[in-house]
Amino acid sequence: MSSDDLLVYINGEFVPESEAKVSVFDHGFLYGDGVFEGIRAYNGRVFKLKEHIDRLYDCAKVIDLQIPVTKEEFMDIILETLRRNNLRDAYIRPIVTRGVGDLGLDPRKCSRPMIIVITKPWGKLYGDLYEKGLKAVTVTVRRNAIDSLPPNIKSLNYLNNILAKIEANAKGGDEAIFLDHNGYISEGSGDNVFIVKNGAVYTPPTLNNLKGITRAVAIEIIQKLGIPFKETNLGLFDLYSADEIFVTGTAAEIAPITVIDGRTVGDGKPGEITKRLMDEFRKLTETEGVPIYE
Ligand code: PMP
């Protein structure tokens, strides 16, 4: 099987990518009505599978979407998709849409949710920038307000994030950093944000951003290493005066930011604490996780 015609799971069937299609009347397509996850498999193991599935079901619950299989069944579907595609290192994209409805918004008219699992071989999101560092820019578009579309929901509606990405691209940034409507640092377009100042690590609480699973792993590592850590609201002052900045995400992993809005962070190279966390994170991904082939 070539890597560009892998099998995709769609509602009980495994179909080649080229034939993996959803209806134009699916509300996931029409309205972004659905939820998704981004998961990684490293070295034959799925990293933090249960945590991702728990978040998927929590997000589904928040949008009143009933996933028609159990969490255990969903995990089995993911493992089976990886096995059928012979993958050991992969990016995994589970999607649950509201399903096929009419052109109205009413989710009650949708027949049944659609479950999709896409798996792809995957390398490094930011290539050589893990050594060089990323240029990040804060963007004028604000993160979705917590009382409109809570950023905790990993929904199929990623337009807010895409607007941020468009702005970052236009400003020559590798990643966008959102502020919320109060001017507090929220998150990146696809990752959570941390800063290091005077040997301590800080990150915003998860009210105005996604409860990142890599964020939680990074915090565990920080605490295990005995590095002082605090969850606290951060502003532009904290970002611009930080000694180190890094972002965390399933796709991004732990990635150093060395330029923020044109200002050099620290000495312009990935910082010592960031590098230690990157090393420890790599070790965890190589040894932990749910085995695919046992
Ligand atoms: N924030 C946003 C907006 C994201 O899309 C992601 C990626 N899922 C993250 C943060 C990081 O979350 P995680 O570490 O669970 O991948």
Atom of ligand 1 nearest to the CA of 187: 1
Residues having CB within 6 Å of any atom of ligand 1: 38, 161, 187, 190-192, 209-210, 212-215, 248-250
What span, in angstroms and rounded, lies between the C-alpha atoms of 176 and 193?
A: 10
Instruction: Compute how many other C-beta atoms are within 10 angstroms of the C-beta atom of residue 121.
Output: 15
Atom of ligand 1 nearest to the CA of 52: 15
Atom of ligand 1 nearest to the CA of 189: 3
118 pLDDT above the threshold of 90: yes
**Is residue 238 a contact partner of residue 245, using CB atoms and an 8 Å limit?**
no
pLDDT digits (tens, 9 = 90+) for 226-278: 999 999 999 999 999 999 999 999 999 999 999 999 999 999 999 999 999 99
Ligand 1 centroid to Cα of residue 249, in Å, is 5
Token readout for 159 is 């337009």
DSSP per position, 79-139: HHHHHHTT-SSEEEEEEEE--B--SSS-GGG--S-EEEEEEEE---TTTTHHHH-EEEEE-
Could you tell me the pLDDT band of residue 188, with boundaries at 50, 70 and 90?
A: very high
For each of the domains in the chain, give its residue range(s) and CATH number, in order of start.
7-121 (3.30.470.10), 128-286 (3.20.10.10)
Question: Mutation test of ligand 1: which of 250, 284, 285 has the most ligand atoms closer than 8 Å to its C-beta?
Answer: 250
**CA nearest neighbour of 56 among 292, 278, 250:** 250
Could you tell me the pLDDT band of residue 123, with boundaries at 50, 70 and 90?
A: confident
Decide: helix, strand or coil at residue 262: coil
Ligand 1 centroid to Cα of residue 196, in Å, is 20
pLDDT digits (tens, 9 = 90+) for 6-24: 999 999 999 999 999 999 9
Decide: helix, strand or coil at residue 199: coil
- Whether 154 is a known active-site residue: answer yes
Ligand 1 centroid to Cα of residue 192, in Å, is 6
What span, in angstroms and rounded, lies between the C-alpha atoms of 176 and 185?
A: 11
4 pLDDT above the threshold of 80: no
Name residues whose C-beta falls within 8 Å of residue 252's C-beta, 6 or more positions apart in sequence: 125, 126, 175, 188, 190, 191, 214
What rounded mean pLDDT belongs to the chain?
97
Among protein residues, the one with the nearest Cα to ligand 1's atom 4 is 190
Strand ranges (E), 102-235: 114-121, 134-138, 175-179, 185-188, 192-197, 200-203, 229-231
pLDDT digits (tens, 9 = 90+) for 45-94: 999 999 999 999 999 999 999 999 999 999 999 999 999 999 999 999 99
Among protein residues, the one with the nearest Cα to ligand 1's atom 7 is 190
Could you tell me the pLDDT band of residue 139, with boundaries at 50, 70 and 90?
A: very high
Instruction: Compute how many other C-beta atoms are within 10 angstroms of the C-beta atom of residue 171.
Output: 16
Instruction: Report helix, strand and coil shares of the chain as percent, to nearest 5.
Output: 30, 30, 45
1 pLDDT above the threshold of 70: no
Q: What is the pLDDT of residue 282?
A: 97
What span, in angstroms and rounded, lies between the C-alpha atoms of 142 and 180?
A: 5
2 pLDDT above the threshold of 60: no
Average pLDDT over every residue of 103-118? 97
Among 154, 197, 224, 230, the active-site one is 154
Decide: helix, strand or coil at residue 244: strand
Atom of ligand 1 nearest to the CA of 55: 15
Name residues whose C-beta falls within 8 Å of residue 267's C-beta, 6 or more positions apart in sequence: none
Ligand 1 centroid to Cα of residue 190, in Å, is 5
Ligand 1 centroid to Cα of residue 128, in Å, is 21
Q: What is the pLDDT of residue 3?
A: 56
